[in-house]
Chain A
């Protein structure tokens, strides 16, 4: 069961399955089935008795939700603790469950702050701005680089999680998390300013064209509407709601 450095051989199988953690996301128990399926390669090779295997599955089919990009840290730790529990009962089931729940929540919070509220808007803004002059390849390059990096980091996180076990909790106290969140959000804010500047320059250059004034006025009104309504409206819905404004402006 064990390979180099005491890590189980099945970590590669767990990694492949961990990428599909959200594949069966459901409103009741969220990522529970994804988690259980990701851990199955280890369970099969662990030699657990059928009754123990059923208890294992039931345990991991409870509610579970975390950030998918940070989940492998937790998965690695979970495999380590389950292996210890099966070997000599060193980790009680209650500790296992608490580890999964509390670490899952903490990683969800950190991961959402860093990835969804920080890195994703910043990176996609960078992709958009790099494509602004009509260049096709820069956005693919920017996002492709992120794709490869995150896949490698998720694999590394699984190994680190396995090596640390319960000590993963110490990692969460590191100030690096907060520095990364701060940097991603400030980069996003800076690029938002660049987008605003480029929009002003692009619309300004149209002022001399027929309908240019209407375009500038429409852009300003749409921005005001987005600022006013944002929390309640997704972008697509807001665009549909702005169609009457466009029709009104076209009559001017």
Chain B
């Protein structure tokens, strides 16, 4: 992708950065409607680029990976929104359409795995960024408390607004940075990967439901919970078997 091609995409890039700012705010700072969850965020980014299917493929896979990441206490937060939006935008700009997850074999699945790897790396690195941001919030609060001694109530509002603005700016910048890295380095590098590595990447989307099931079985896996899990699995398999029999006859 050359600078002229990038310039042609500027309305979509700007809209994705804005979406990144809004969804990162929604993720941890304001309203928390869960529209920032990967499956929705991916689709929304895909809609911005005219490829909602690509957004769904990546968003759904990332959602499965993160189903067990519970935001309780000071646990791992990750920073999935920016990397996911950036990766969906870059893939759409490059004409990559990973298609349905767990469907297509070969290069399409390999591309989805390659993008998934970028988002997972981005999320792990972004977690550090979120922790720094929260330390910065501590400093803002301390500054506001000093200002309060002089009787100025508005210093509290200013500190809170700065925090919210910081979160939104982080979301926009992370989205832009990931878009640039994925569009200019990550996607071009895919064509140089050996076939064996592409085959390994094609397996990664399949690991996502496995990771989700493993984490959720651990979450719900008491004796009573296990019965419900087994019931859900048995019911689904019975339904699939019945539908297959009906289709065959």
Contacts from A to B (Cβ < 8 Å): 19-20, 22-29, 32-34, 36-37, 40, 43-44, 50, 53-54, 57-58, 61, 68-69, 112, 116-117, 120-121, 123-125, 127-128, 131-132, 134, 136, 139-140, 143-144, 146-147, 150-151, 185-186, 188-203, 206, 209-211, 214-215, 218-220, 222-228, 230-231, 234-240, 242-243, 246-247, 249-251
CA distance A123 to B113 in the complex (A): 25
In order of increasing CB-CB distance, the 8 nearest A-B pairs are A193-B232, A226-B214, A197-B236, A147-B33, A189-B228, A24-B163, A235-B65, A222-B210
CA distance A200 to B230 in the complex (A): 13
B6 at the interface (CB under 8 A from A): no
CA distance A191 to B212 in the complex (A): 11
Q: Which residues of the partner chain B approach A199 to less than 8 Å between Cβ atoms?
A: 102, 209-210, 213
Q: Which residues of the partner chain A approach B40 to less than 8 Å between Cβ atoms?
A: 127, 139-140, 143
Question: Which residue of the partner chain B has the closest CB to A220?
Answer: B210
CA distance A246 to B37 in the complex (A): 26
Given the interface pairs A23-B167, A131-B39, the reply to whether A121 lies near B160 with Cβ below 8 Å is no
- Are B124 and A189 interface neighbours, CB within 8 A? no
Per-residue A-contact encoding for B96-132, CB less than 8 Å = 1, 0 else: 0000101101000000010011011101100000000
CA distance A219 to B213 in the complex (A): 10
- Are B39 and A201 interface neighbours, CB within 8 A? no
Q: How far is the CB of A109 from chain B (nearest CB, A)?
A: 10
CA distance A222 to B240 in the complex (A): 23
Interface residues in B196-249 (C-beta closer than 8 Å to A)? 196-197, 199-204, 206-220, 224-226, 228-237, 240
- Are B210 and A219 interface neighbours, CB within 8 A? yes
Known pairs A196-B229, A226-B215, A243-B200; list 19 more (Cβ under 8 Å): A26-B135, A32-B141, A33-B140, A33-B159, A44-B153, A112-B72, A116-B70, A117-B70, A117-B219, A124-B39, A125-B216, A189-B228, A193-B232, A197-B236, A198-B209, A199-B210, A226-B214, A235-B66, A235-B212
- Contact of A197 (CB < 8 Å), options: B25, B197, B210, B232: B232
Q: How far is the CB of A116 from chain B (nearest CB, A)?
A: 5
Given the interface pairs A23-B167, A190-B229, A194-B232, the reply to whether A123 lies near B34 with Cβ below 8 Å is yes
Task: Choose, from B12-20, B143-151, B173-181, B182-190, the stretch at the interface.
Answer: B143-151
Given the interface pairs A25-B134, A128-B39, A239-B208, the reply to whether A54 lies near B151 with Cβ below 8 Å is yes
- Are A26 and B202 interface neighbours, CB within 8 A? no
Question: Which residue of the partner chain A has the closest CB to B46?
Answer: A136
- Are A150 and B234 interface neighbours, CB within 8 A? no
Q: How far is the CB of B82 from chain A (nearest CB, A)?
A: 13
Q: How far is the CB of A243 from chain B (nearest CB, A)?
A: 7
What is the predominant secondary structure among interface residues of chain B facing chain A? helix
B89 at the interface (CB under 8 A from A): no
Q: Which residues of the partner chain B approach A242 to less than 8 Å between Cβ atoms?
A: 204, 207, 211
Q: Which residues of the partner chain B approach A53 to less than 8 Å between Cβ atoms?
A: 151, 153
Size class of B's contact patch? Answer: 35 or more
B95 at the interface (CB under 8 A from A): no
- Are A131 and B56 interface neighbours, CB within 8 A? yes
- Are A33 and B63 interface neighbours, CB within 8 A? no
CA distance A32 to B213 in the complex (A): 36
Q: Which residues of the partner chain A approach B100 to less than 8 Å between Cβ atoms?
A: 134
- Are A134 and B53 interface neighbours, CB within 8 A? yes
CA distance A40 to B159 in the complex (A): 13
CA distance A107 to B237 in the complex (A): 39
CA distance A50 to B100 in the complex (A): 61
- Are A201 and B237 interface neighbours, CB within 8 A? yes
- Are A226 and B211 interface neighbours, CB within 8 A? yes
Q: How far is the CB of A192 from chain B (nearest CB, A)?
A: 4
CA distance A224 to B53 in the complex (A): 30
Interface residues in B25-82 (C-beta closer than 8 Å to A)? 25, 28-35, 37, 39-40, 43-44, 46, 52-53, 55-56, 60, 63-72, 74, 76, 78, 80
Q: Which residues of the partner chain B approach A239 to less than 8 Å between Cβ atoms?
A: 65, 116-117, 120, 204, 207-208, 211
Given the interface pairs A201-B236, A236-B78, the reply to whether A136 lies near B53 with Cβ below 8 Å is yes
CA distance A190 to B234 in the complex (A): 10
- Are B37 and A23 interface neighbours, CB within 8 A? no
Question: Which residue of the partner chain B has the closest CB to A198?
Answer: B236
Q: Which residues of the partner chain A approach B30 to less than 8 Å between Cβ atoms?
A: 19-20, 22-23
14 residue pairs bridging A and B, Cβ less than 8 Å apart: A20-B29, A26-B137, A26-B140, A186-B224, A192-B220, A193-B229, A195-B216, A196-B236, A199-B209, A200-B237, A201-B240, A226-B215, A234-B69, A235-B212
